[in-house]
């Protein structure tokens, strides 16, 4: 017999978790900002604004 409450816990985020409440959103923002910075850098090189 399957333990539904245990299964449900594992497929949902734990409540009051520092990892999911704080760390993950900060990482998403930081990684998103780095992605945009790299895209802007590449665009600057392609457009000739920045010379390698």
Partner 1 sequence: MSVIEILPFISTVIMLIFTVDVFKRYLVRRAPHFLFWGIGLAMFGLGSFAEAYLALSWSRAVLVIWFLFGAILNPAWIGMGTLYLLVRKRWVHVVSGILILASLVSTVLMLSASINDNGFHLGTPISQQYQAIISTASLNLLLIPTILFGTTGLILLVGGALYSAFLFWRKRVLPNRVIGNVLIAAGALSVGSASELTHLGYGQLLYVGELVAAVLMYIGFRFAAQPQPDEAPQAVVAAAAD
Contact positions vs partner 1 (CB under 8 A): 2, 4, 6-8, 10-14, 20, 24-25, 27-28, 31-32, 34-35, 38-39, 41-43, 45-46, 52
Residue 5: C-alpha distances to residues 9, 16, 20, 48 (Å): 6, 18, 20, 58
Least separation in angstroms between CB 30 and partner 1: 9
DSSP conformation class of 6: H
Least separation in angstroms between CB 1 and partner 1: 13
For 42, phi then psi, to 5°, come to -60, -40
Least separation in angstroms between CB 11 and partner 1: 5
């Amino acid at each position: 017999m399957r333990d539904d409450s245990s299964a449900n816990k594992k497929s949902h985020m734990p409540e009051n978790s520092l990892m999911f409440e704080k760390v993950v959103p900060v990482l998403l923002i930081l990684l998103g900002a780095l992605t945009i910075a790299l895209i802007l850098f590449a665009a600057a090189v392609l457009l000739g604004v920045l010379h390698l």
